Amino acid sequence: MEIVSSPLPYTSWRVPWFHVAFENTAAVASGIESALKVLMRKGRIPNKKIVTLAMAGDGGTADIGLQALSGALERGHNFLYICTDNEAYMNTGIQRSSSTPFGASTTTSPVGRLQMGQITWKKNMPAIAAAHNIPYVATACPSYPIDLVQKVKKAADIEGPAYVHILSVCPTGWRSAPELSIKLGRLAVETGIFPLYEVERGQYRLNIDFPKLKPIKEYIKLQGRFRHLTDDMIGEIEKRVHKEYEQLRAKAKKGV
C-alpha cells in the first residue's frame, strides 16, 4: 500500500503517516498512540478520538514483526492493526512466510525431489491476537466488501487494541488469473480455508457459517502454486481445514 500510494511528492494520503521498517509497525504505532495521549493531556491538541492505524503484510506481522505486535497488544495501546495477508513476502520475490499455507510453492519453499512446497502449516495469527485478550479481533476478505468495511469501522471505534486480518489474493504469487481474484477470495471462505469471524471481548462469532463446506479442490485448482499437490495431500489439507473449522464453530456456539 505504501509503495504504490505514497511516493513524494505525489502522496495519495490526506492524513499524517509514517513509512517504517518491516518489523516495527506495531512499535511505531505504540509510540504514536502514546505521544497523542501526552499531547492531549498537555492541551497541545484537542482531546478527541484519533485513530492510530497500523498496516503491515503477513511477513511483517506473523514473522519479523510479531514481537513488537505482541508487546503492543499486551500493553493495551489504543490502536487498530490491520494485516493484509497475501501468504508470502510478495514484494521482495515471493518468499515463504509463516503465513504461507502448507504445500504452497514459493521461491524459498520450491517443489523438488526433497520437498513438495511449504512444509509447515499456516500460522493462525487471529488466534494469536485473540490470545492476548484484546477487545476486538476479526478476519475479513475484499470478496465480502460490506463485511470488511463494517469490521474496520467497528475496530476503529473500539477503545483499546484491535486486530483485523484481511486475506489479500495475489495473482502473481498465487499464480492465478487476476480476474479470478474475487472468486478466489469467496472460495477461501466457502471452503473453510479462511473463515470470516469476530472475537469481541472474548466472544467468538462466525459471520458466515456454512452447513457444508465446498471441496477445497475448487479453491486449489485455480492456483499454480498448488498444481503439484497429489490427491492424498489435498485430502490431508482438507481434513485439517474441516477440523479447525469445527473447532471455530464450537467456540462460536459456546460464545467463548
Using left for φ > 0, alpha for ψ between -120 and 50, and beta otherwise, residue 255 falls in left
Residue 203 pLDDT class (50, 70, 90 cuts): very high
**What is the chain's length?**
256
Whether 138 and 150 have beta carbons less than 8 Å apart is answered as no
When the pLDDT of each residue in the chain is averaged and rounded to a whole number, the result is 95
Phi, psi of 196, rounded to the nearest 5 degrees: -95, 120
Rounded Cα distance, 123 and 96, in Å: 12
Average pLDDT over residues 139-147: 98
Rounded Cα distance, 85 and 73, in Å: 19
Q: What is the pLDDT of residue 134?
A: 98
Please check the confidence at residue 1 and state whether its pLDDT lies above 70.
Answer: no
Rounded Cα distance, 178 and 171, in Å: 5
Number of domains in the chain: 1
Structural domain of residue 16, as residue ranges?
2-254
Express as a percent the part of the chain with pLDDT over 70.
98
Give the residue ranges of DSSP H helices in the chain: 2-5, 25-41, 58, 66-75, 125-130, 145-157, 171-174, 181-190, 217-220, 231-254
Average pLDDT over residues 206-228: 97
The b-or-e profile of 167-203 (16+ CB within 10 A means b, else e) is bbbbbebbbbeeeebebbbbbbbbbbbbbbbbbeeee
CATH number of domain containing 158: 3.40.50.970
Rounded Cα distance, 82 and 152, in Å: 9
Which range among 12-21, 104-113, 116-125, 183-192 shows the weakest confidence by mean pLDDT? 12-21
> Strand 80-85 to strand 162-167: parallel, antiparallel, or no bridges (unpaired)?
parallel
Of 43 and 11, the structure prediction assigns the larger pLDDT to 43
Phi, psi of 10, rounded to the nearest 5 degrees: -115, 35
Rounded Cα distance, 22 and 185, in Å: 25
